[in-house]
Amino acid sequence: MTIIFLDSRKAERFRNAINNDAEFKLAARFMSENVLLEVDDSQCIIKIRDGVVTETKLDPPSNEHWSFSVKATAESWDKLLQPTPPPFYTGLNAGMIRGNLQILGNLELAFAYSWAMNRMLDIMRQQQNR
């Protein structure tokens, strides 16, 4: 199964689902960052401006700027995106503490926007399992 944010055919649906979510809008209202999501060797940059996902960019060039990244194996992402994820895959903080994923880059920003990022994970989970 292809992870939703790596599937170019589902990118618009994914972006619309996030942008139409009231909780994400509230959590990300001051967020204007590029977030890199990594799955093994595949990458996707999510560009967020004032709480709106303006672009998803698959396999960006190596010089593309990002503020922080969420990196995990395909196996870990599969578990994170299950309808009912197993223990320690329910959110980004639990995954990081248990070593199931890494958060890299500007950690201050990553934690400042952890509510928005965990809400985005919830939306990814819903969209992945439609």
User: Can you give the pTM of this predicted structure?
Assistant: 0.94
pLDDT digit of tens for each residue in the chain (130 aa)?
Answer: 688 889 988 888 999 999 999 999 999 999 999 999 999 999 999 999 999 999 999 999 999 999 999 999 999 999 999 999 999 999 999 999 999 999 999 999 999 999 999 999 999 999 999 8
H-state helical runs in the chain: 11-19, 22-27, 74-80, 92-97, 107-112, 114-128
Please list, in sequence order, all residues whose beta carbon lies within 8 angstroms of the beta carbon of residue 71, skipping any fewer than 6 positions away. Answer: 36, 37, 38, 101, 102, 103, 104
What residue ranges define each of the domains in the chain, with the CATH number in brackets?
Answer: 4-128 (3.30.1050.10)
